[in-house]
Structure 1
């Protein structure tokens, strides 16, 4: 494999490892927001921002951890026949099916970028009482999708290396 391809795989996986490890801690932020919501409802006035902030935190946790989850192989597969195949046949099958994932993520990223640009252009805000700006969470979604797209390309490079009898 070319050095650039190997470097790409290593850099993408190093970035996804770090971001994924950071994203893991968002579950504690989510728990804190929800705990504050319960405390505020019990002892004070209910906070208007907690439900939406919990949703934003969960979205960030999910999309930023997506590439990390892919990298670790923690995603769900339909393993009816796949597990019985040899590693080279698995790599060959993955080389074909990864294009569906890459296409899906590219379309999602394109739509996400257009939605983010629109959110900036009109200063889009949520329709709730709290009315937060929508651009920051849309940026997080685009970053998460972009990282998953890069990880999918890294998978393709790894599978091609496996078919060539090399290991990255």
Structure 2
């Protein structure tokens, strides 16, 4: 039982750390947007590279924080109902939801994402704009990394749910606000 709980904690911690590191993309994104706005407005110098970088940072932020959002309990659910469930009922619902929906979806994205990434790498794909950013495979790789961390978070949730269903006392809920986790 303790091995199940320890593995759940390790998997969730990995997803949480990736998300916390990716959260720094917000700072770079804000600076990029400010630079883009200032150069467009005051210097009349538009940059396709800056615009490409903005959506790359948006995608990176979103994708690499998927697992963290799940671990932190920020995913979509009906809290009015879930707060009324016993620990075992909530664990059973979490187990079913993660096993039937999150795991298969992540596996499908990862399965079809590899050829998507490999093709981009092989073709040395760049921005469709002539003056855009090169190496589109870098941003496409965040799709696989993001869904891999979501998969790890789901496996951690499944392990924790199994431990609860097998009789281990449930751990306290993860904090629901980023400032409580040290961001």
TM value normalised by structure 1 = 0.91
Return structure 1 stretches of 4+ with deviation > 4 angstroms.
none
Cα offset, 1:146, TM superposition: 0.2
CA distance in 2, matches of 1:10, 1:83: 22
Question: Bigger CA drift: 46-55 or 123-132?
Answer: 123-132
Query: What per-residue deviation string (whole Å, max 9, x for no partner) do you get for residues 90-134 of structure 1?
Result: 111222121211101111111211211111122122212314221
Cα offset, 1:144, TM superposition: 0.9
| Corresponding residue for residue 77 of structure 1 | 77
Which sections of structure 1, spanning at least 5 residues, go unmatched? none
Q: CA RMSD in A?
A: 1.7
| Corresponding residue for residue 181 of structure 2 | none
Higher helix share: 1
| Corresponding residue for residue 37 of structure 1 | 36
Is the contact between residue 12 and residue 71 of structure 2 (CA under 8 Å) also seen in structure 1? yes
Q: How many residues align?
A: 167
| Corresponding residue for residue 64 of structure 1 | 64
| Corresponding residue for residue 165 of structure 1 | 167
Question: Bigger CA drift: 10-19 or 102-111?
Answer: 10-19
Cα offset, 1:164, TM superposition: 1.1
CA distance in 1, matches of 2:107, 2:124: 25
CA distance in 2, matches of 1:98, 1:24: 24
Question: Bigger CA drift: 54-63 or 76-85?
Answer: 76-85
| Corresponding residue for residue 90 of structure 2 | 90
